[in-house]
Structure 1
């Protein structure tokens, strides 16, 4: 049989009306080392001849083949275009692999089998031939950047790959070298050699997660060549050579950065010899490919598009930037560097971007209240633009702005309401991105009693008047407890304009309920004419419907944010931020600012237990770093500076929660995970509050401390009682168990004070968790095997702990890999995977949302702000949404973030060689997500008494029956 994959024959590849265009600047390396242009027609020819060889001459004319071949050809071409959008080289065997895969996916087993046998036969023949010649590969020359050439240095290649594989299990340096050599050709560039090595290692990640580290280490050869040559330190360097060169590069970097007016000149005042000696080149080994590529693409300083910053230099630059005002700057900079470079803690993206630079905008979030006058509205929009320019995420409170139809005193006309202004905000966010590094991001908040709320809910719809749509910004509901009670009671709800009810904006809890009911009474006797009465349930259904349809507005709760706020004496929390974890006071005079960073919880698990001593040390240093941000930060608007210096809030959070569970052999959907969420957050809270109090003893209390809950000895765990009192105990159930000596800490706080008005908030951490190579924030694993796409490209991500567990039971093989691909990274349908591993490695949509809410409730009791809580719901329905979000409110959560919904139905997949190969039973079809006896029930909600109007708060059993970067 003949299957000439690169034949000179041409065959029309436009059958079935599908046009195929060859990728530009894409070349194919032949087996003998020659290079030819990529010719997509030859793929079509090869597949047609494969069918003819198996099925006879008539196969080419069959409608099945004529339809399949051009579609498969186009799919193969698109795969290469995605992999190499700017062109490049690929080996002929890469193309053959794709042809083989296309035939298998199409169910053409006979043709695929014949094709595989053909390839094996010719591979044996080539091996026999190559054994008789001295040099199976021609001599290769490498083209240098100056246009000159030099012979390919195989010794250096072997050194690079050997270094990259150091101390990693189950990786093969020789296999990488041999496979990469096939992708080299005479005249290949220096970067092309590195690219070939990386691409070879990268293709092996799905089989062995450690190849992600290998790929990252190979990528560093490119990084070092680019930076070191630009800094004038060396043309290139191996990993081992960096032990000496890092210090030299660091000093040259500081000088260059100051010369380019990118680095703060004060960095030159540090003892650069001492700091350079502290750089640990060994920590470069900790990066995964995704983490290092993310740093390169988005974080490293560059000049004329040349990155001249290296990983350890970046961390030292940030550490120096945060230590500028310390007494012993070098000692503190080294302390901060140790924390960052070890991945025990990571600062937020704005801090990584800008610390140590001439414009040190280090804060993550800005919250504003928009006043009800034209000057104030456009001043707020101008503030948005200035804050966004310097990489700040924005949360705008629009509740004070009068509603559609409200009287305008100055013109004696009627208002157009909030929505037209939000369109301007949307377009401003698009026009002024975050320093040219990522899209501008803003979230508008509106209280549920505002007369424009119904139109506000529809802002993200793709239908309707586009002038009243905001496709690029986020929106969120700011929901009072009284509304939720009316939903439970099946009562009415009245919508007002803030121009006639301005004090509702400043009230919460029992005071809000009393005044709201007075306004409702005024609608009955004619004192208020501008209002609308709706059924609370109808509005709630619309809120949930729009959330499902458009992803917005998010649902956040006004009263727990205020009743549990330490700063009740100093103002009102009118909204959260872009990612719903910040709950700070705002007013016309104050723009709230928050400075974020996250503890890597996975790095604090030792021998299956949470290391409290290490956590205490990490938290203490992290709080100091966050407090330093306030004094060093660049403030684009005065209101932000005033608020930040007055209250000094920070937001210490966590990430790697799922990885910490894996390290303890705990499934996310279990009572053990809920307990771990409770105990781990209690320790973070305890140490963070103590660290801030000790800073107050060293540096002084924040200026608005007196009168705060802190000053009264009321800690976050204590404030739950106030929420219960004002909401009514029948509408809330929260576990209040403790394990630490909180009375000792209360006494310390009242005596020493606090340095920061707020200390904790759990941000999403999507980007910085990539840098640290852990799961983001408090999220469950999304998939166990998938391709992640972001601004840095496409990356194969495989769940390393799962691979280790499957290896330990002898289950990790090619069949398992193929099944994981086929089942979208899920182990649930794979029959030979044991039930305990199915429970442990259940993915986000395979975990009932009740577990997310339960764990979040346990964390929330310890946090003085909030948490970015995404909810994943599979088989979504109106009832399931209703139950989940009511449960979130009932469990005392302050906010929720994105709803990630998956439809109840999906296309059934079938194959001869995937799930059935793993089957250990009689071959019956596996269920999508089989039940596991290891999943336990959370307790407590079921005991809630049946409420008014036949409704009751949602219980865990109810849910069982129903079967998003500024902060990152």
Structure 2
């Protein structure tokens, strides 16, 4: 946040009333004290020195909150003094309403900790006792509707929370929660205020035990039910009411133009009977809060969807493509979604069943070397982003700085100024107002502007040549990596003088590149530059280390292994590096994503292949339906998707599956599981697409594809070996009978040009409560931030394992905080627990690369693979990326150093631990390249610390 010359509001001293302290004393209310306290909270969060000013927006928000406090004091003083707790509660709610979630979180933690310290010190005055609170509460009223107030009944509040199933768990102290809500109560509060207080109170205790997570989820569900149905889950006829109200919800949403009138064509009674309200209990609190904030349909802020209505709406929207048995297919899709075994990507969840069903996740474009097409591409970005699409742009084709412009006889300014415009357009046109706009620019390293391209994300230099809100990726040919290995030279060109390099790969690229090098050496090239390949590589890795960009992706394996090599060239990947599809001036590649929750397929200690096959079959049908239902923002997108029909079935919950199997992620057993599980998903997905082709027909451009030529993804590794002249270091072993798949394809063909891609799943994994994508556990206890706020997350599997051994207690929680959510250095933990629950920075990246290489055997597109280094050095980073290339990976994603988001440690007694955590030591030790810490857990950083652009 930038500072300005604005100052804290000059709040005059006003005696609007009196404030009753906790010891019973009454003092005059002073607005200036409130303003100063809020200002200090902002300064602490923003790390501002006393001399630095707050922004004018922040000052305005502080002033607004102070006015809210004054209004409460004025209203209350007509009858009695306002309490300190009431003032603090108004401030807390005001911060949340102004969306200052981080400041509000610190405020909540401050209040909670000080309440705990008062209890420890034995301050049991009448006002702090239950009896005193009850006496005070009995004088308060609740405004149940405008102008209608009833007495605040503490017993009723207690009865309500004790009806929650989680309230009966021994770890939950509901009385403590009620007491906290009573302390924050104020006269004239609404039922919504009370519910918000209960949810926040339960939420603040999640770090103590996962039981509070379940309680907070139940309470948040009650908020949703009150808005959507008018009843909570504690009414006797609730389940029937839940189902009966479904048709009213559909009609209301259609009238409000939130849903498509086509949904009325379903037999809504049959659909409603299939709803399973009990499945709302599968959500954890963060998932429930996330769908409440951004996914559930609302009218003027009132949610009209429940979680099961939400799943059914998505299912019905996808079933619109079915030519018959609409209800049966919708119910089939619903059963899969609501079981949390598979989840469609965020655009599908946002828009399925609506008037604008833009259901696709990713769009890839190639920008031509033409001013009109450049600005058309920027306009297309805006249209695609508006409907929640993540963008990948290939800019390699655009001429370099200094290249001749024939029409004006001038010189080009190159690519960089246009990328600045792309960056600003992404900020201006966000994803439907629900997520930030997101775009990644790709460039090959032989482009003369590539060195400046590497500097785009730097925090220093000419701001007109910086793109702080856009991502960048290097699209690296094998020849560069081989020159690097051989300590060779590398030449940079302007694309207008080497026009065919953009479309060449493999040996064809080598031949043309070497030809242009000879032309340059002979003086027949107007612009070129020669440098050491290792010098350029070092600069690339330095920038990746400092800023997280560019991502390292590989052009040749992405093209050589592409099923669609007959139909064009893969010029780039997408926003999150997992999509690898052809692009051209008349085709904007589109991919439709969804992910299997692998952890939900571990049954009785093993991977349930039969259950997995049922999941994959239904999921592939749902993804294929997206193509026909989809709203296409541009004709180029519709053209590409209609011709090739690609989908990207991925997975999430990989770490959960390993944990349930008792397999440490840093082990050969885990690598073998990655191989077997991905082979099974690939096998069933390809077979499912083949079966769809038998019923619905082959995709239009099938003839001549690798599928048509009898080549499966596993077969294409040999092609990479041949083009490189050296083998990819991964085995070709398999466990399933692929002859059955080959025979089916030969008979029926394929419905989809591409079937598989592993996306980050940052948001959808949050919704369903599983670990992200193929990620290791980031930390066992950490603070997660997204557009819904900031949330403390604890790994329930670790907590359960520790409970079984009698090791989960307040001291263990304190140790987890001190060691920043890692277990490796906690003294009294058994070695097997440390090994099983090792976190991302406690394992060597070679294990993640080895597992990814095994998966890549079976995947026809790519995977969003984050790499983690706790103590990075130039040597370690170089070795890591070279291993990724040699292992046959098509792409990598973020390089992660230690995270900027840490667990709140204000309650930790650091003296008790006696030593400095290893993660702190690694920060203080300098390496070959300066550390500029990149954002935190897993996936993209569009919405730090988690990307939400793709899923």
TM-score above 0.5, yes or no = yes
Instruction: State the partner residue of 2:842.
Output: 846
The one-character-per-residue Cα deviations of 1:535-583 (angstroms, maximum 9, x if unpaired) are: 1000001111111112111111000100110111111100000010000
Instruction: State the partner residue of 2:604.
Output: 607
Instruction: State the partner residue of 1:551.
Output: 548
CA positional deviation for 1:641:
0.7
Name the CA distance, whole Å, in 1 between partners of 2:672 and 2:841.
Answer: 21
1:316 equivalent in alignment to 2:312: yes
CA positional deviation for 1:624:
0.2
For residues 592 and 831 of structure 1, do their structure 2 counterparts lie closer, same or farther at Cα, with a shift above 3 Å needed? same
Name the CA distance, whole Å, in 1 between partners of 2:768 and 2:781.
Answer: 18
Name the CA distance, whole Å, in 2 between partners of 1:126 and 1:236.
Answer: 30
1:379 equivalent in alignment to 2:362: no
1:350 equivalent in alignment to 2:310: no
For residues 910 and 171 of structure 1, do their structure 2 counterparts lie closer, same or farther at Cα, with a shift above 3 Å needed? closer
CA positional deviation for 1:822:
2.0
Instruction: State the partner residue of 2:861.
Output: 865
1:401-412 superposed matches below 5 A: 401-412=398-409
Instruction: State the partner residue of 2:144.
Output: 144
Name the CA distance, whole Å, in 2 between partners of 1:778 and 1:96.
Answer: 38
CA positional deviation for 1:246:
1.9
1:807 equivalent in alignment to 2:810: no
1:631-642 superposed matches below 5 A: 631-642=628-639
Name the CA distance, whole Å, in 1 between partners of 2:805 and 2:894.
Answer: 37
Instruction: State the partner residue of 2:710.
Output: 713
Instruction: State the partner residue of 1:211.
Output: 212
1:477 equivalent in alignment to 2:474: yes
Instruction: State the partner residue of 1:98.
Output: 113
Name the CA distance, whole Å, in 2 between partners of 1:96 and 1:426.
Answer: 40
CA contact (8 A) 2:232 2:238 kept: no
Instruction: State the partner residue of 2:430.
Output: 433
1:48-87 superposed matches below 5 A: none
- Name which of 559, 567, 576 aligns with 1:562: 559
Name the CA distance, whole Å, in 1 between partners of 2:405 and 2:677.
Answer: 53
For residues 721 and 135 of structure 1, do their structure 2 counterparts lie closer, same or farther at Cα, with a shift above 3 Å needed? same
Instruction: State the partner residue of 1:254.
Output: 250
CA positional deviation for 1:205:
1.2
- Name which of 822, 829, 833 aligns with 2:829: 833
CA positional deviation for 1:787:
2.0
CA contact (8 A) 2:113 2:907 kept: no
Name the CA distance, whole Å, in 2 between partners of 1:849 and 1:212.
Answer: 32
The one-character-per-residue Cα deviations of 1:400-422 (angstroms, maximum 9, x if unpaired) are: 11111112222222211111111
Name the CA distance, whole Å, in 2 between partners of 1:897 and 1:83.
Answer: 33
CA contact (8 A) 1:819 1:915 kept: no
CA positional deviation for 1:432:
1.4
CA positional deviation for 1:926:
6.8
- Name which of 455, 461, 484 aligns with 1:458: 455
- Name which of 386, 393, 404 aligns with 2:390: 393
Higher mean C-alpha deviation, range 820-829 or range 384-393:
820-829
CA contact (8 A) 1:831 1:926 kept: no
CA positional deviation for 1:158:
1.9
Higher mean C-alpha deviation, range 449-458 or range 895-904:
895-904
CA positional deviation for 1:810:
0.9
For residues 180 and 537 of structure 1, do their structure 2 counterparts lie closer, same or farther at Cα, with a shift above 3 Å needed? same
CA positional deviation for 1:85:
5.8
1:420 equivalent in alignment to 2:385: no
1:784-795 superposed matches below 5 A: 784-795=780-791
CA positional deviation for 1:735:
2.3
Name the CA distance, whole Å, in 1 between partners of 2:24 and 2:591.
Answer: 59
* Paired residue secondary structure (1:594): strand
1:365 equivalent in alignment to 2:365: no
For residues 399 and 925 of structure 1, do their structure 2 counterparts lie closer, same or farther at Cα, with a shift above 3 Å needed? closer
1:874 equivalent in alignment to 2:875: no
CA contact (8 A) 2:592 2:646 kept: yes
For residues 924 and 178 of structure 1, do their structure 2 counterparts lie closer, same or farther at Cα, with a shift above 3 Å needed? closer
The one-character-per-residue Cα deviations of 1:675-704 (angstroms, maximum 9, x if unpaired) are: 111111111101100100010111111111
CA contact (8 A) 2:92 2:108 kept: no
Name the CA distance, whole Å, in 1 between partners of 2:869 and 2:541.
Answer: 13
Name the CA distance, whole Å, in 2 between partners of 1:685 and 1:360.
Answer: 28
Instruction: State the partner residue of 2:758.
Output: 762
Higher mean C-alpha deviation, range 250-259 or range 266-275:
250-259
1:622-633 superposed matches below 5 A: 622-633=619-630
CA positional deviation for 1:373:
1.1
* Paired residue secondary structure (2:382): helix
Instruction: State the partner residue of 2:928.
Output: none
For residues 813 and 291 of structure 1, do their structure 2 counterparts lie closer, same or farther at Cα, with a shift above 3 Å needed? same
Higher mean C-alpha deviation, range 828-837 or range 117-126:
117-126
The one-character-per-residue Cα deviations of 1:131-150 (angstroms, maximum 9, x if unpaired) are: xx997962653211323123
- Name which of 334, 337, 340 aligns with 1:337: 334
Residue ranges of structure 1 left out of the alignment (5+ in a row): 44-75, 102-111, 229-233, 918-922, 932-963
CA contact (8 A) 1:343 1:603 kept: yes
Name the CA distance, whole Å, in 1 between partners of 2:918 and 2:887.
Answer: 32
For residues 812 and 673 of structure 1, do their structure 2 counterparts lie closer, same or farther at Cα, with a shift above 3 Å needed? same
CA positional deviation for 1:532:
0.7
CA contact (8 A) 1:474 1:552 kept: yes
CA positional deviation for 1:729:
2.0
CA contact (8 A) 1:819 1:914 kept: no
The one-character-per-residue Cα deviations of 1:870-906 (angstroms, maximum 9, x if unpaired) are: 11111111111111111111111101111111399x9
Instruction: State the partner residue of 2:57.
Output: none
For residues 465 and 446 of structure 1, do their structure 2 counterparts lie closer, same or farther at Cα, with a shift above 3 Å needed? same
Name the CA distance, whole Å, in 1 between partners of 2:81 and 2:629.
Answer: 55
Instruction: State the partner residue of 2:944.
Output: none
CA positional deviation for 1:925:
6.8
For residues 543 and 463 of structure 1, do their structure 2 counterparts lie closer, same or farther at Cα, with a shift above 3 Å needed? same
CA contact (8 A) 2:553 2:890 kept: yes
Name the CA distance, whole Å, in 1 between partners of 2:185 and 2:367.
Answer: 60
Higher mean C-alpha deviation, range 798-807 or range 411-420:
411-420
State the TM-score, normalized to the length of structure 1. Answer: 0.84
CA contact (8 A) 1:876 1:903 kept: no
* Paired residue secondary structure (2:869): strand
For residues 785 and 427 of structure 1, do their structure 2 counterparts lie closer, same or farther at Cα, with a shift above 3 Å needed? same
* Paired residue secondary structure (1:667): coil
Name the CA distance, whole Å, in 2 between partners of 1:733 and 1:743.
Answer: 25
For residues 713 and 532 of structure 1, do their structure 2 counterparts lie closer, same or farther at Cα, with a shift above 3 Å needed? same
For residues 96 and 296 of structure 1, do their structure 2 counterparts lie closer, same or farther at Cα, with a shift above 3 Å needed? closer
Instruction: State the partner residue of 1:965.
Output: 948
1:325 equivalent in alignment to 2:371: no
For residues 126 and 278 of structure 1, do their structure 2 counterparts lie closer, same or farther at Cα, with a shift above 3 Å needed? closer
Runs (4+) of structure 1 exceeding 6 A deviation are 3-6, 9-23, 27-30, 76-84, 86-90, 92-96, 133-136, 909-912, 923-926
Instruction: State the partner residue of 2:572.
Output: 575
Name the CA distance, whole Å, in 1 between partners of 2:627 and 2:907.
Answer: 58
CA positional deviation for 1:355:
0.5
For residues 79 and 815 of structure 1, do their structure 2 counterparts lie closer, same or farther at Cα, with a shift above 3 Å needed? farther
For residues 572 and 341 of structure 1, do their structure 2 counterparts lie closer, same or farther at Cα, with a shift above 3 Å needed? same
For residues 929 and 431 of structure 1, do their structure 2 counterparts lie closer, same or farther at Cα, with a shift above 3 Å needed? closer
Task: Calculate the aligned-residue CA RMSD, in Å.
Answer: 3.5
Instruction: State the partner residue of 1:171.
Output: 172
Name the CA distance, whole Å, in 2 between partners of 1:875 and 1:123.
Answer: 54
Alignment coverage as a number of residue pairs: 871
The one-character-per-residue Cα deviations of 1:514-553 (angstroms, maximum 9, x if unpaired) are: 1111111111222223111111000001111111112111
* Paired residue secondary structure (2:717): helix
The one-character-per-residue Cα deviations of 1:441-494 (angstroms, maximum 9, x if unpaired) are: 111111111111111111111222222221211111100000000111110001
For residues 497 and 867 of structure 1, do their structure 2 counterparts lie closer, same or farther at Cα, with a shift above 3 Å needed? same
1:661 equivalent in alignment to 2:658: yes
For residues 148 and 414 of structure 1, do their structure 2 counterparts lie closer, same or farther at Cα, with a shift above 3 Å needed? same
Name the CA distance, whole Å, in 1 between partners of 2:129 and 2:588.
Answer: 71
CA positional deviation for 1:910:
13
